[in-house]
Structure 1
């Protein structure tokens, strides 16, 4: 019996098929049919995701003109031992992580796997030395990434991949080539939170805007109070309201761009008490008859809010109209945390309510509004001149 998944009916579409419990790929390109076994790969959920990524890799190569008709580029190496290629190791690590990370992060893994393949081809992961790793960082990552911080995050990810592989029986030698790779990160001003005046103007802009802008007014008001991550806001459903009066909400899920519901970024949740104005706003939206599984905030078409469309078609044009310097919608979270910190919310309480950690609060939000140390004016120039 055969089952196919991920089929998209255009030229060059690659299908994952299962025969006798083992996975393979098949597709047609330029009037030629291809079929490729994936080796001793059984049909499991994990391997299905890995096979889908291989199918996507082939489709991408077809689209960009980089398809290898000999298929050598795509044939899997031995699962264990030193034969596994660097890109395939990353592919397996990505499949393992898929259930716990969001779509954007998965896309970073996929792009990184492609860069490993472009740079090293099928070179075995066990043969990568620390010098090889530094060369990859300096020749590839520096070319494609804008900041030292992003490069450090990527090499940390690669180090985690190698650690995971060792724990799972891959023979990669005694030393992780990605350790001790961190670059010195120069200080940066960072992205400033919105001031109270800017936030009030933004909320008024949503209230007084066109119908398509006004549609999102409640969404942005709620976001400004909760300071949730984008995916957390998109995932809010009526069942997350804990009582009839809408006085408290639970935040513990995120909705990715593919419509998959997952736990929050770091698997933390929180119950947040709501002020009366927000409780009333939610009661008015809910009405007397509602489905507890419905999303609280939806697009005008009744679907989940698509973050990119909201940013490009609603948020960015409104900020331009208001004369406010553009900062992405996610900055609402930064703004909420920063203003609460200024108002006296402790680091521990902020970490709990915003589902993050105290070190993150200290690094990214503490003193970002006005609560900063001030130099004493010891010169007293005006007094001296008088």
Structure 2
């Protein structure tokens, strides 16, 4: 809801007056259901007072638990719909505000999806809708044109798919009669995107990277945080193959005598602690090298909820900042000096661990369990790591007579 069109922010049980196309609407939520009640009144000082009295009546009924869920008690002559049609002064056909529809769809999905998904994916679509020059359902073609002019074809296609899914939901709820976005995404042809690089670092490259961190090879003497501060975090990524957001979320209560419990993650883009990517916890065995890393960094005084790899301010590391301000400059410098073959992002520490495990003959099932993925993913995407394995010789070939 745009602040300039709203006369107040509706909290739970309160009714907000909203101005849409110079008409007053009442917006409120009861038992998790969002309602948009068209008063049919033009936006004038007198009509605002009338609408305020109707709002007070609804609030009083909610408070006294006398709320009429059919809304018949509060309806004006114009019909209430969950997404309120807006009538123009020239008696044009009614239009449906796309943002209102998307808001209701998001609230419905919130019950089924993780909060991070709502914030990350659904939040992006909402921001784009707010930027549309025309924001009504009936403007679907204009919206497609706007997206193509202002975003990549991949983003445009993805956005139209989301809007189409929203409309399909609204049709099932009988909020709208048809889906104007149904075929728009199919009309857009996108280039085949290259697959995510799962290239590993070689053992020599791993050693060069860790050495650069530990010895502050490229760290400025004026830096408040030397690169060596992040060395344990980098070594941990290489030694466990865990996802960066899992290492960032790790607390000392998750470190047991001979195992590490990976059960949480903190994605940098939303900064919300959540379950791991697969929604499953897993245990990772601590070998002597990993034990040394952990013993070296464990503070003498720390609580069970203390972070294992905190930022200097004591909060969770920001992996995005680390990637761009620390990791990338170091690895690129190593590439320039010929110590590392090519630049790869920090996530490829995970790919390196998986690849080296396979090269050492560790079964795919075990590697999948350690890394929180599936055997199918391991064998599909990392088969190249074991391509050089030779066919075994059984000594059955007899010498020529």
TM-score normalised by length of structure 1: 0.64
Larger Rg: 2
Q: Which residue of 2 aligns with 1:339?
A: 356
Aligned-pair CA distance for 1:347: 4.4
Structure 2 residues without counterparts, runs of 5 or longer:
35-79, 86-94, 220-224, 391-401
- 1:79 has 2:95 as partner: no
Deviates more, 1:222-231 or 1:15-24: 15-24
Change (3 A) 1:290 1:224: same
- 1:314 has 2:326 as partner: yes
1:202 is paired with a residue whose SS is helix
1:293-323 Cα offsets, whole Å, 9 max, x none, are 0110011232211122212221111112212
Aligned-pair CA distance for 1:193: 2.6
CA RMSD of aligned residues (A): 4.3
- 1:106 has 2:119 as partner: yes
Q: How does 1:145-294 map to 2 (within 5 A)?
A: 145=152, 157-158=162-163, 160-162=165-167, 165=170, 170-171=175-176, 173=178, 177=182, 181=186, 186=192, 188=194, 190-191=196-197, 192-209=199-216, 210=219, 212-241=226-255, 243=256, 245=257, 247-257=258-268, 259-294=271-306
Q: How does 1:21-170 map to 2 (within 5 A)?
A: 21-22=13-14, 24=16, 39-42=26-29, 79-80=82-83, 84-95=96-107, 100-101=113-114, 106-119=119-132, 121-124=134-137, 132=141, 140=147, 144-145=151-152, 157-158=162-163, 160-162=165-167, 165=170, 170=175
CA distance, structure 2, for counterparts of residue 221 and residue 79 of structure 1: 54
1:323-381 Cα offsets, whole Å, 9 max, x none, are 24332222222322333344444444444432334554455x3224452799xxxxxxx
Change (3 A) 1:273 1:159: farther
1:121 is paired with a residue whose SS is coil
- Which residue of 327, 343, 353 maps to 2:370? 353
| Contact in 2 for aligned 1:238/1:293 (Cα 8 Å) | yes
Structure 1 residues without counterparts, runs of 5 or longer:
1-11, 27-35, 48-76, 375-386
Aligned-pair CA distance for 1:37: 8.8
1:49-85 Cα offsets, whole Å, 9 max, x none, are xxxxxxxxxxxxxxxxxxxxxxxxxxxx953588654
Change (3 A) 1:339 1:101: farther
| Contact in 2 for aligned 1:236/1:295 (Cα 8 Å) | yes
Aligned-pair CA distance for 1:88: 3.8
Q: Which residue of 1 aligns with 2:344?
A: 327
CA distance, structure 1, for counterparts of residue 237 and residue 106 of structure 2: 31
Change (3 A) 1:145 1:180: closer
CA distance, structure 2, for counterparts of residue 175 and residue 344 of structure 1: 54
How many residue pairs get aligned? The number is: 312
1:215 is paired with a residue whose SS is helix
CA distance, structure 2, for counterparts of residue 46 and residue 343 of structure 1: 56
1:113-132 Cα offsets, whole Å, 9 max, x none, are 3334545733227x86xxx5
Change (3 A) 1:152 1:200: farther
TM-score normalised by length of structure 2: 0.62
